[in-house]
Amino acid sequence: MSDRPGRRVGVLVSGRGSNLQALLDAVQAGTLDATIAVVISNVPGAPAMDRARAAGVETAVMPHRDWPTREAYDEALAAALLARTVDLVCLAGFMRRLSARFLAAFPGPVLNVHPSLLPAFPGLDAPGQAVAHGAKVAGCTVHLVTAELDAGPIVAQTAVPVASGDTGDTLAARILVEEHRLLPAAVARVLAGGWRVDGRRFVDA
Ligand code: GRF
């Protein structure tokens, strides 16, 4: 596992952690040249933490209710990441909005994976929203995080067709398979550099 400066990734989780697992597997397989430096959960007992421990990655539990305000929590979160000299933060099922305070305190790129083709269906249960809306194509997006929910510059997307009998759950399961491919590839792309943000577009530099 390489541990070169500029390639240290911090992962924020709240639950199952299958996207974290995809990152751990990609690092292990050598397809993602990065070090997962720390995994932080805002939910004590999140299954994702077992995956991190099994991979020998440092973990930290930071329950948000232990801090008096969102801003105080976000500053503590950024400080915890910076203390581990993290270069890039990846939200992998982190079910909490990050404030402008976090983004001001953490200078590196922050990525999120979302189970829709943004800007369609931001927010909770995006696959269920897509089915209810009658969308014929769904998918997943990795984007740079900004203070606006699920709205930052799009790094990468994969389309997933919606089947006529799909429920939110069956569609989410097929999207998840694509998330597991897309997220490690997008992290590798961002770590490689040679990009810039032009307006709201993520473009080659
Ligand atoms: C994924 O669908 C992700 O897109 C969304 O939350 C889910 C997290 O799943 N933000 P997991 O914890 O990575 O298994």
Among residues 114, 133, 143, 180, the one annotated as catalytic is 114
128 lines ligand 1 (CB under 6 A): no
What's the mean pLDDT when you consider all of the chain?
96
Domain residue extents for the chain: 1-108, 113-205
pLDDT of residue 69: 96
Rg (CA), the chain: 16
In the predicted model, is pLDDT for residue 126 greater than 80?
yes
pLDDT of residue 112: 98
CATH of 113-205, one of 3.40.470.10, 3.40.50.300, 2.40.50.100, 3.40.50.170: 3.40.50.170
Q: Which CATH superfamily is domain 1-108 in?
A: Formyl transferase, N-terminal domain (3.40.50.170)
Give the C-alpha separation, 192 to 155, whole Å. 13
In the predicted model, is pLDDT for residue 15 greater than 60?
yes
Give the C-alpha separation, 180 to 176, whole Å. 6
In the predicted model, is pLDDT for residue 58 greater than 90?
yes
Pairing of strands 137-144, 110-114: antiparallel
47 lines ligand 1 (CB under 6 A): no
In the predicted model, is pLDDT for residue 2 greater than 80?
no
| β-strand partners of 11 | 39, 90
Q: How far is the CA of 117 from the centre of ligand 1 (A)?
A: 14
Q: How far is the CA of 66 from the centre of ligand 1 (A)?
A: 24
pLDDT of residue 6: 80
Q: How far is the CA of 19 from the centre of ligand 1 (A)?
A: 6
Amino acid at 91: L
178 lines ligand 1 (CB under 6 A): no
| β-strand partners of 201 | 198
Q: Mean pLDDT, to the nearest integer, of 152-170?
A: 98
| φ and ψ at residue 96, rounded to 5 degrees | -155, 135
Fold agreement between 1-108 and 113-205: yes
pLDDT of residue 104: 96
Asked if 114 is an active-site residue, the reply is: yes
17 lines ligand 1 (CB under 6 A): yes
In the predicted model, is pLDDT for residue 174 greater than 60?
yes
Both tokens assigned to 4:
């070169």
